[in-house]
A and B are shown apart, each in its own frame.
Chain A
Amino acid sequence: MAIRVFLLLPVFLSSAIVSFSLYEDQAGLADWHQRYIGKVKHAVFHTQKTGRKRVIVSTEENVVASLDLRHGEIFWRHVLGTKDAIDGVGIALGKYVITLSSEGSTLRAWNLPDGQMVWETALHSAHHSKSLLSVPINLKVDKDYPITVFGGGYLHAVSALDGEVLWEKDFTAEGFEVQRVLQPLGSTVIYVLGFVNLSEAVVYQIDSKSGEVLAQKSMAFPGGFSGEISSVSSDKVVVLDSTKSILVTIGFLDGDISFQKTPISDLVEDSGNAEILSPLLSNMLAVKVNKRTVFVKVGGEGKLEVVDSLSDETAMSDSLAVADDQEAFASVHHEGSKIHLMVKLVNELDNVLLRETIEMDQHRGRVHKVFMNNYIRTDRSNGFRALIVMEDHSLLLLQQGAIVWSREEGLASVTDVTTAELPVEKDGVSVAKVEHTLFEWLKGHVLKLKGSLLLASPEDVVAIQELRVKSSGKNKLTRDHNGFRKLILALTRGGKLFALHTGDGRIVWSMLLKSQACERPNGISLYQWQVPHHHAMDKNPSVLVVGRCGSDSSAPGVLSFVDVYTGKEITSSDIGHSVVQVLPLPFTDSTEQRLHLIADTVGHVHLYPKTSEALSIFQREFQNIYWYTVEADDGIIRGHVMKSSCSGETADEYCFTTRELWTVVFPSESEKIISTLTRKSNEVVHTQAKVNTDQDLLYKYVSKNLLFVATVSPKGAGEIGSVTPEESSLVVYLIDTITGRILHRLSHQGCQGPVHAVFSENWVVYHYFNLRAHKYEVTVVEIYDQSRAENKNVWKLILGKHNLTAPITSYSRPEVFTKSQSYFFAQSVKTIAVTSTAKGITSKQLLIGTIGDQILALDKRFVDPRRTLNPSQAEKEEGIIPLTDSLPIIPQSYVTHSHRVEGLRGIVTAPSKLESTTHVFAYGVDLFYTRLAPSKTYDSLTDDFSYALLLITIVVLVAAIYITWALSEKKELSEKWR
Chain B
Amino acid sequence: FSPVGKMFRPVVRLSTSGVRSLTRTRPCYSAPLASRCYSHAKVETDEEFDARWVTYFSKPDIDAWELKKGMNTLIGYDLVPEPKILDSALRACRRLNDLASAIRILEAVKDKSGPHKDIYPYLIQELQPTLIELGISTPEDLGMDIL
A binds B: no
- Give the interface of A toward B (CB within 8 A): none
